[in-house]
Amino acid sequence: MSLRSAAIHSWFISHKFIRTMAFILVVTTILGVVYVYRAPLHRAYGLATSHQPETYTELYFDNSPKLPMQVTAGKPYTYTVHIANHEAKPMTYRVIASVEVPNVAPVITTVTIRLSSGQATDKTFRLQLSQPHQSATIKVGLPSQQQYVTFRSQS
């Protein structure tokens, strides 16, 4: 073997060795990254390929066109709220209804309602303004869901 062909052979072997080592380094790096991130990747894949139903709770005034917006002082009125559980699990709701009149302590009613997933109910509350020309804000809320509905009433 000539000196020239030995040098070419040596050069080829050393470059082949370097290419092989570079390939091994790249593969081990990729495997290391996959190993480190396998849990987040698995979770992301699971979220991307599975259907997650949207969960929510409905809260609104039932028959809202007939809310007691104009009332007679001293006469009791009622209003109804509708609550529906779409949380995909049983829920216990604390419902707070308040009648707030300026310069008067608010009248607060609290009830607890337990609903199965997909179940709905209507809850009726009472409103009575004691004086003529009073203005009140009626507020019903589900504090745990951070949901509130309101209307105003006048005597």
Total residue length of the chain: 155
Q: What percent of the chain has pLDDT over 90?
A: 58
pLDDT at 64 over 90: no
- Structure confidence by residue, pLDDT tens digits, 104-116: 999 999 999 999 9
pTM: 0.65
**Do 29 and 81 reside in the same domain of the chain?**
no
Domain carrying residue 138: 56-154
Rounded to an integer, what distance in angstroms lies between the CA atom of residue 97 and that of residue 106?
10
> Between 95 and 29, whose confidence is greater?
95
Confidence band of 74 (pLDDT split at 50, 70, 90) = very high
**Do 134 and 62 reside in the same domain of the chain?**
yes
Domain with 122 in it: what CATH number?
Answer: 2.60.40.10
- pLDDT value of position 12: 59
Domain count, the chain: 2
